[in-house]
Structures are given as structure tokens and as C-alpha cells.
Amino acid sequence: MSSNAPQRTARTLALRAVKTLLRALPPIALVAWVATTGPFDQMAPRLADADWLPFVLAIAVNFLIFQPIRALRWRVAMTDPPRFPTILAAVVEGSATSAILGTAVGDVVRSARLGRPASFATDLGSSLADRVCEYLALTILLGTTAIIGVIPLPWLAAPFSLACAMAAMARWHPRVAPLLARWPRIHAGLSGMASALNMRNVAAMTGLAFAGWCSEMLMLHLVLGAVGLPSGLGTAALVVISINVATALPGVPANLGTFEAGVVFALAKFGVDTQVALSFALLYHGLHLVPTVLVGGTSWAVRELMPRAGRR
């Protein structure tokens, strides 16, 4: 055994500890924030007087508009797409996994849930192409709000860098592909992403991404108005942007802490008290988290049981 082996092991353990700590920091900060501020005192009267129909409509928009748009966008990126209901089920199940484990896990899970082991790498590549266009649409929205001075210009760096990195991978794929021949899955995934990122597909997926953001703005408009908070288009747009920039941090379980920070930052721009904004963030996060996990988990269970019933 090499004399450097214990040193490498210690370094690996230290890196894992640092990664675990970084993942745990946002949830820990959120728990500490809630414990010290008691945010629900001011929100409780608002909820008592709220009309619950907007909450139901917001959940309906999520599953009847937002999730189908995501499925359609992914279908555009595929070269050999399965039936749309299969894609939609995989997207919802991936969203449920993302809601629990963090944003980055959903793409892997939804690609696996298509049930095509032979083309898993290609499906994951098309999912990453879909993600490129989502970040491209987010960058355009961010740029628009940055120009009018609503958000700081440096916010553009995160989604723009991700979109550029993935676009560069697609652009230089033909030159890099021969070097990846020894790793067939990576080669297939990059090939799937590169083939999906042609001009026609990028335009279609970016347009669908804008439609998805608009449906999420509608959800926010409904819920903000239901609890008596500013609910105009500008408010909803800024909250959507802030949430998506904040939750771009990968690996945070259930996006706890990052999601709430994005909402609080956005609502503070419109003069909403910090405690009220935090309580709304927790309410809106739960409105996303609980139904998505329930519907995604149900879809997963049903699709697992159906083949067994067929065999019996």
C-alpha cells in the first residue's frame, strides 16, 4: 500500500465532511431563522381570512399546465420520444424526487423512470439540453429585470454560465467525442444533448420555458393575492426569478433554505416585512412540496404495480 494512501483517505473524508456541511447549512439556517423570528404570528390572521380557492387553483395550474409544459419541452429534445403520458409521469416523478433531495437529482430520476435502460444516457443528455434552454429563458428574464434595476446585474452570472457551459459542450462535442469512446455512457449522453441543441429545438424549448415561467407566475399571483400581499406581474416575476436563482445551488435537500431566501429577497423589494415574507415562503414552498411528492409518489407506485398486475 502506498504511503500516501492514509493521507488521501483523510483528504477524501475531509472533502465529504465539507460537502455535507455545505448541503446542511441552508436548512440549518432556515430552522434557526424560523426559531428566532416566529414568522407565523403575522401570517395567521391572513390565512384565517384567506379564500382557499386560489390555493386549489394554484395546485391545479402546477399539474395541469406547468408540469405538462415541462414534459412537452423535454419531448422536443428527444430524438425517439415515448408516449407523452409516459414522459409526463416521468417528469412528475422526477419533480417529486427533486422536491425531496434537491434540484440536481430530478434529471437523473426522470430519465431513469422512462423505463428505457438501453437509452438512459441519451435520455439524460436530452434532459440536460432541456435544462440549457430553461436556463437560457431564465437568463433572458434576469437580463430584463436587471436592465430596469430591479435585481443586481451579477445575478446573471449563475444561469448564464450554466447555459454557456452546456452550449459549449454541445458545440465542441464532435471534437471531444473521439476522446470519450472508452466511456460509452458519457459519449451517448453528450451526443443526445448535442443533437437536441439545434436552432429549431432551442427556439421551441426556450419558448416553452417562458410559458412555464408564466404559469408559475400565475400560481404566485393567485397565492400572493389570497393572503393579501402584493400580487402584480412584476412581483410574481421577481419571486419566480429569485427562487430559481437561489435553488440553482445543487444538492440542498428539498431546497430548504434556498427557496425561502429567494422568496424573502424578492418580496423585500416590494416592502413586505421579513417575517411575513418568510412565513409566505414556507407556505408557498409547502404548496409546491406536498402535492408534488404525493402526486409523484402515487404515479411511481401505480406504474410499479401495473406491470406486476399484468404479469399476474
**Cα–Cα dist 66/100, whole Å:** 19
Tell me: do 67 and 201 sit in the same domain.
yes
Shared-domain flag, residues 167 and 222: yes
| Pair (115, 32) in one structural domain | no
Q: What is the pTM of this model?
A: 0.80
- pLDDT classification of 128: cutoffs 50, 70, 90: confident
**Single-letter code of the amino acid located at 108:** V
Examine the domain organization and report whether 121 and 33 are in the same domain.
Answer: no
Are both 171 and 267 inside the same structural domain? yes
> pLDDT grade, residue 181 (50/70/90)?
low
Are 51 and 31 found together in one domain?
no
Do both 112 and 26 map to the same domain?
Answer: no
Residue 71 and residue 27 share a domain:
no
CA angle centred on 206, ends 78 and 245, rounded to 5°: 110
Per-residue pLDDT reduced to its tens digit, 184-243: 777 677 777 777 888 889 899 999 999 998 999 999 999 999 988 988 888 888 898 888
State which residues form the domain around 24.
1-37
How many residues are given for the chain?
312
Same domain, 159 and 306: yes
The pLDDT, as a whole number, for residue 311 is 45
